[in-house]
Amino acid sequence: MKATFSYDPETVRKVLGSASDTWFYQESSITTVTTASTEAETGSLFVPLRGNRDGHEFIGDALSRGASYFLVEEDHPIRQNLNSEEQSKAIPVKNTLVALGKLAAFHRSRFNPIVIAVTGSSGKTTTKELLGNCLKNLDESALIVTEKNYNNEIGLPFTLFRISDRTRIVVCELGMNHKGEIARLAQIAKPDFALITTIGTAHIEFLGSRKNIAKAKVEVAEGLVKEGKLFYPDTGEYSKILKRKLRRHGGRLILVKPDRTFSVLRKKPSGFLLEYKGKEIEWNLPGYKLLENLAIAIACLETLGTPSEWIREGISTFKSSDKRLDLQKGKYFVINDTYNANYESMLSSLEVVDQLADGKEFYAVLGDMKELGNHSRKFHKTLGKKCSEFRNLKGLFTFGTDSLWIREEFVKRTTFPRFSEHFAGTEEGLVELVRKFSQTVPEGSVVLAKASRGIQLERFVNSLPV
């Protein structure tokens, strides 16, 4: 990643509290910041991060490409191998990832845009993009929206580095896997408004319970500006936890009821016909769960003072670029949702496909849900029970290991004849799944394919005839 970053090295050193036992090579100011050595150039500040490879190994490459300065961890052995010229370009810090966040927080503090932070177990990307679509009438330079999935301690800083004196609104997405991550991200972003879309089971393996997930999500309050506002669906659980947290940090919780925000006039296969502020608008995404996310987005926009015309236009023209629910038309109508999965998103996707099928039969190919830990059996079985309640679900294929529990509970709970079969999550199992599916499912059928990323269920989708 790379961004414009125009600061002199003395300012960077002071922001980071870097030791001043080395002199600085003052040939130029810093003009860009990058975490990729291949993107380094004259004026670049290279930030080496630890991951699958230690970024410190690429300091030499960054310098050879013209990098003017680089961060280096104080206790890293590479410091002993730097020559005097390289030492002069080094800015020692305790942790380069933390330092990247400090630089982003400093840059954000120099300007005064309204920052909106979106987090949640599911629906946050769609909600973020919807907010951006409703605000698109702002000048291009006045609006910044998180790109792709830049929602972690690396991606968020590069969103904030885009802020300039022309920026009026920033919409950023905050992701997490572990306790404390949302707090760190919120303290960097300092949002004026925060939205929690859902509190579900994503990452429950690491956090232990949904209650702990709620506590982790509401960490966003730790970064809210004084008197900042947090929007959350009125139908959501754990509002008491949210209220307690906000009382400690001085923010205000706004619980949003969809039926007090808009009226649902009619459900359609492709979405809903709504009435908002006395006028009809089309919402072209199926699934009732997304209506809760739509409601909190509208509530935030209204609080922001967004014109009703902008909101109506943003809703009616919205097309999610999130390919995690991608309709692929060929021999079958396949909803390819193989990017990720947790219990709530599985159930939501089944509801979406049931709506898209418009009263006709549909099929589901479901793989394991990861990061459930000791809760895996419980949630896979609960999903199997829920699958049995979709009367138009004609057949269920499961693929992997723990997904066997989905099929077992589906068979146990179903009250009329339906096809179901489980396949091992191996190459042989994949071949057999494709063969059995092709033999069983009629051409033109609507099919949901969904699993956690580690299952790589897109291999099944890619094996189907076009």
Residue-by-residue DSSP string for 220-237:
GGGTPPTT-EEEEETT-S
Assess whether pLDDT exceeds 90 at residue 369.
yes
CA distance 155 to 150: 4
Q: Based on the structure, what is the number of domains in the chain?
A: 3
Mark whether 299 and 327 lie in a shared domain.
no
Q: Supply angle C-alpha 349, 387, 326, rounded to 5.
A: 20
Mark whether 340 and 239 lie in a shared domain.
no
Assess whether pLDDT exceeds 70 at residue 116.
yes
Would you state the pLDDT for residue 30? 95
302 in a structural domain: yes
Give the CA distances from residue 286 to residues 30, 216, 232, 458, in Å, rounded to whole numbers and listed in that order.
48, 29, 21, 22
pLDDT-based confidence at residue 19 (cuts at 50, 70, 90): low
Specify the higher pLDDT residue, 202 or 38. 38
Mark whether 278 and 130 lie in a shared domain.
yes
Poorest-confidence range of 234-238, 243-247, 328-332, 343-347? 234-238
Phi and psi angles of residue 312, each rounded to the nearest 5 degrees, phi first: -60, -45
59 in a structural domain: yes
Would you state the pLDDT for residue 465? 81
Would you state the pLDDT for residue 340? 86
- Residue 50 carries which DSSP code? B
Mark whether 265 and 340 lie in a shared domain.
no
Would you state the pLDDT for residue 319? 86
Assess whether pLDDT exceeds 60 at residue 386.
yes
- Looking at every residue in the chain, the average pLDDT score rounds to 93
Mark whether 132 and 170 lie in a shared domain.
yes
100 in a structural domain: no
Give the tens place of pLDDT for each residue, 180-223: 999 999 999 999 999 999 998 888 888 888 899 999 999 999 99
Poorest-confidence range of 133-137, 244-248, 277-281, 446-450? 244-248
Q: Please report where in the chains the tokens 């209220």 appear, as a residue.
A: 243
Would you state the pLDDT for residue 325? 64
Structure token pair of residue 100? 């990247």
Would you state the pLDDT for residue 322? 58
- Residue 92 carries which DSSP code? E
Would you state the pLDDT for residue 207? 86
Residue at a domain's end among 316, 351, 381: 316
pLDDT-based confidence at residue 321 (cuts at 50, 70, 90): low
Mark whether 150 and 228 lie in a shared domain.
yes
Assess whether pLDDT exceeds 90 at residue 18.
no
Would you state the pLDDT for residue 400? 98
Q: Is 309 helix (H, G, I), strand (E, B) or coil?
A: helix
Specify the higher pLDDT residue, 65 or 340. 65
Structure token pair of residue 75? 């206790």
Structure token pair of residue 449? 């394919």
Assess whether pLDDT exceeds 70 at residue 86.
yes
Q: Residue 389: give its domain's CATH number.
A: 3.90.190.20
- Residue 224 carries which DSSP code? P
Assess whether pLDDT exceeds 60 at residue 27.
no
Q: Residue 190: give its domain's CATH number.
A: 3.40.1190.10
Mark whether 370 and 261 lie in a shared domain.
no
Give the tens place of pLDDT for each residue, 426-462: 999 999 999 999 999 999 999 999 999 999 999 999 9
CA distance 269 to 362: 13
Residue % of the chain over a pLDDT of 70: 97
156 in a structural domain: yes
CA distance 387 to 379: 12
Mark whether 292 and 179 lie in a shared domain.
yes
Distance of CA 112 to the CA centre of its chain: 25
Total Cβ atoms within 10 A of residue 211 = 13
Specify the higher pLDDT residue, 28 or 409. 409
Mark whether 263 and 145 lie in a shared domain.
yes
Q: Is 359 helix (H, G, I), strand (E, B) or coil?
A: coil
Mark whether 305 and 327 lie in a shared domain.
no
Identify the domain containing residue 127 by its residue range.
111-316
